[in-house]
A and B are shown apart, each in its own frame.
Chain A
Amino acid sequence: MRDRLRTLAGMDSYVVEGLTRRHGTLVANDGIDLRVGVGEVFGLLGPNGAGKSTLVRQLVGLLRPDAGSIRLFGAPLTRSLAGRVVAYLGQADAVLRDMPVGAAIETTARLRGQGRAQARRTRDALLIELGLVELAERPVIRLSGGERRLASFATVLAGERSVLVLDEPTTGLDPVARRAVWQAVERRRAEHGTTAVLVTHNVLEAETVLDRVAVLERGRVIACDSPGGLKAQVDDGLRLELVWREHAPVGEPTVDRLAVLARVQGRRWTLRLPAAEAREALGRLTTGSALAALDDFTLATPSLEDVYLTLGGTADDLERS
Chain B
Amino acid sequence: MSTTPAPVPDLASTVTAAASPRLAGEGARLGTATVVVFTQQLARARVARIPLLFVAAFQSIGILLLLRGVVDTSSALTEQQVVAGATVLVAAFVCLNLMAQRLGSLRAEGGLDYYAALDVPGAAVVLGTAGSYGAFAVPGAVVTAVSGAALYGLPFNRLWILAVVLPLAAASLAGLGALLGLLAPKPELATVAGQLGMSAVIFLNLIPVDRFPLVLRWVRALVPSTYAADALAETFHRHVAWGAVGRDLAVCLAVAIVTLALAGAMFRRQVGR
Contact = CB atoms under 8 A, between A and B. Distances in A.
A88 B48 CA distance: 25
B52 interface: no
A11 B15 contact: yes
Contacts, number: 133
Contacts of A107: 36, 39-40, 43
Nearest to B14: A162
Contacts of B11: 5, 8-9, 38, 162, 193
A111 B32 CA distance: 8
Contacts of B109: 92, 94
Contacts of A90: 110, 113-114, 117
Interface in A1-42: 1, 4-5, 8-9, 11, 38
A83 B15 contact: no
A81 B272 CA distance: 14
Nearest to A9: B11
B114 A110 contact: no
Interface string A75-95: 100011111111110111111
A234 interface: no
Contact residues on B (Cβ < 8 Å of other chain), bracket: 35 or more
A79 B116 contact: yes
Contact of B271 (A62, A95, A98): A62
B1 A61 contact: no
Nearest to A94: B111
B6 interface: yes
A190 B1 contact: yes
A63 B36 contact: no
B33 to A, nearest CB: 6
Interface string B26-56: 0000001100110110011011100000000
A271 interface: no
B119 A99 contact: no
Given A75-B18, A84-B22, A92 B43 contact: no
B18 A74 contact: yes
A198 interface: no
A190 B8 CA distance: 12
A111 B6 CA distance: 28
Contacts of A72: 18
Given A111-B36, A191-B7, A103 B43 contact: yes
B81 interface: no
A82 B271 CA distance: 14
B33 A111 contact: yes
A73 interface: yes
B45 to A, nearest CB: 9
Nearest to B45: A98
B105 interface: yes
Contacts of A8: 6-8, 11
Contacts of A73: 14-15, 17-19
B40 A94 contact: no
Contacts of A95: 40, 106, 111, 114-115
Contacts of B113: 57, 62, 88, 90, 92
Contacts of A83: 117-120
Contact of B119 (A63, A79, A194): A79
A84 B17 contact: yes
B273 A63 contact: yes
Contacts of B6: 4-5, 8
B105 A112 contact: no
A263 interface: no
B110 A82 contact: no
A183 B111 CA distance: 27
Contacts of B115: 95, 111
A100 B45 CA distance: 10
A60 interface: yes
Which of A8, A74, A193 has the most chain B CB within a 10 Å cutoff?
A193
A209 interface: no
B18 A81 contact: yes
Given A103-B40, A111-B33, A85 B18 contact: yes
Interface string B93-118: 00000000000011001110111111
Which of B22, B40, B109, B273 has the most chain A CB within a 10 Å cutoff?
B40
A7 to B, nearest CB: 10
27 contacts: A5-B6, A5-B11, A64-B272, A73-B19, A74-B18, A80-B119, A83-B118, A83-B119, A84-B17, A84-B119, A85-B14, A90-B110, A94-B105, A94-B114, A95-B114, A98-B47, A99-B43, A99-B44, A100-B43, A100-B46, A104-B43, A107-B36, A107-B39, A110-B32, A110-B36, A139-B46, A191-B4
Closest 8 CB pairs of A and B: A83-B119, A94-B111, A73-B18, A92-B110, A103-B43, A98-B44, A193-B7, A162-B14
